[in-house]
Amino acid sequence: MSEEADAIAAEIGRRAASGCAWHDIAVIYRQNRLSRAIEEALIQARVPYEIVGDVGFYQRVAVKDALALLSLAARPDDRQSDEAFRRVANKPTRGLGAKGLGAIELRARDQDISLLAAVSETRLSQKAAAALREFERVVREIGAQEDLTVGDRMRLLLEDTGYYDMLRADDSDEAATQMENLAELADVADRYRKIDHLMEHASLASGAPGEKGKERVQLLTMHRAKGLEFRHVFLPAWEDNLFPGTNARNLDEERRLAYVALTRAMEQATVTSCDYRQGTSSTPSRFLNDIPPGNRISHWNWQVGQGAIPSTRSAWEQTRRELDALGL
């Protein structure tokens, strides 16, 4: 979906350059998981966005923890890494309570050293001292290895500090989701040669949600879009087996969602579909057939990459009255 997402981000940029405010643009999708590629594309294009009713990828707990570990390993003796230490020093639990952390803070301040460096200089309980010194050793050793990619460094830190084991021991759906988030973050990290570049990318995303709804493109599901309107709406992944999905028991309900999504646009709704998605051929959503041909404007045919199949995009301009007459 990355080529589709990149194209949507580029088109959003063009419309903004033509005078459309960011908050007048929305990307509406059937499933939450479809937001990830869109989010990454908007970050790369430096388009401000807000995920309505959900937390942005780089704001998720496990993702922030993994980035903190990377930051700490990259600059273990830098006071700028202190916030990262506070975030992950007791994940998994190492017997570090408020009193112990306070003692480390005082030692670091008195000696003008980082919190990680202050661990070995601070009198702590036997359990906390042993666990934290092992944590310091792991972080420093992995941080000093020059032959690791950013993604592999992150994976090794998560493994050797016990973070992965902490999640594996938790059989909740939340823990499983966090493991998936970490796997996805590692894939993103593999694209970067330097930790600083990944951190810059993440910081752009972290700044994106900001002031909710103010000059930001809105990303939201079809269900959350009910009752809202935008000048321009983008509707990605309109393909059979995605929308409607393979397990769509109630086709009429899915069709009503299509109607909801289309009618969020006051000026233009742009529907996108891919000829191939994740190596498998795709068929445009059957719901496209419900749109009268005279109301469609077909464009956006381009090569998505060397050896790739051209993706077909359909867009149309509709008034609310015309859409109401469709009976979707």
CB 240 within 8 Å of CB 283: yes
CATH number where 168 lies = 1.10.486.10
Q: Identify the domain boundary among 189, 205, 221.
A: 205
**23: helix, coil or strand?**
helix
Q: Are residues 194 and 89 in the same domain?
A: yes
Q: Are residues 260 and 297 in the same domain?
A: yes
Q: Are residues 81 and 201 in the same domain?
A: yes
CB 184 within 8 Å of CB 58: no
Determine the Cα–Cα distance for residues 222 and 235; give it in Å rounded to an integer: 9
**271: helix, coil or strand?**
strand
Q: Are residues 67 and 123 in the same domain?
A: yes
* Number of domains the chain is built from: 2
Q: Are residues 148 and 245 in the same domain?
A: no
Q: Are residues 224 and 105 in the same domain?
A: no
pTM of the model: 0.76
Q: Are residues 217 and 200 in the same domain?
A: no
Q: Are residues 261 and 163 in the same domain?
A: no
Q: Are residues 118 and 65 in the same domain?
A: yes
Q: Identify the domain boundary among 165, 185, 205.
A: 205
Q: What are the residues whose beta carbons fall under 8 Å from the beta carbon of 120, sequence distance 6 or more?
A: 133, 136
pLDDT at residue 214, as a whole number = 61
Torsion (CA) 153, 155, 159, 165 in degrees, nearest 10: 160
Q: Identify the domain boundary among 205, 240, 270.
A: 205
Determine the Cα–Cα distance for residues 144 and 77; give it in Å rounded to an integer: 12
CB 142 within 8 Å of CB 125: no
What type of residue sits at position 14?
R
CATH number where 33 lies = 3.40.50.300
Q: Are residues 52 and 65 in the same domain?
A: no
β-sheet bridge partners, residue 242: 245
Domain extent for 248: 2-56+212-324
Q: Are residues 228 and 152 in the same domain?
A: no
pLDDT at residue 289, as a whole number = 85
Torsion (CA) 23, 43, 163, 129 in degrees, nearest 10: -90
Q: Are residues 7 and 131 in the same domain?
A: no
Torsion (CA) 227, 228, 232, 237 in degrees, nearest 10: -70
CB 217 within 8 Å of CB 27: yes
CB 23 within 8 Å of CB 218: yes
Per-position pLDDT tens, the chain of length 328: 688 999 999 999 999 999 999 999 999 999 888 899 999 999 989 999 999 988 889 999 999 999 999 999 999 999 999 999 999 999 999 999 999 999 999 999 999 999 999 999 999 999 999 999 999 999 999 999 998 999 999 999 999 999 999 999 999 999 999 999 999 999 999 999 899 999 998 888 765 444 454 689 999 999 999 999 999 999 999 998 889 887 757 888 899 999 999 999 999 999 988 888 877 888 888 888 887 776 666 644 443 332 222 333 444 444 344 445 544 4
β-sheet bridge partners, residue 217: 49
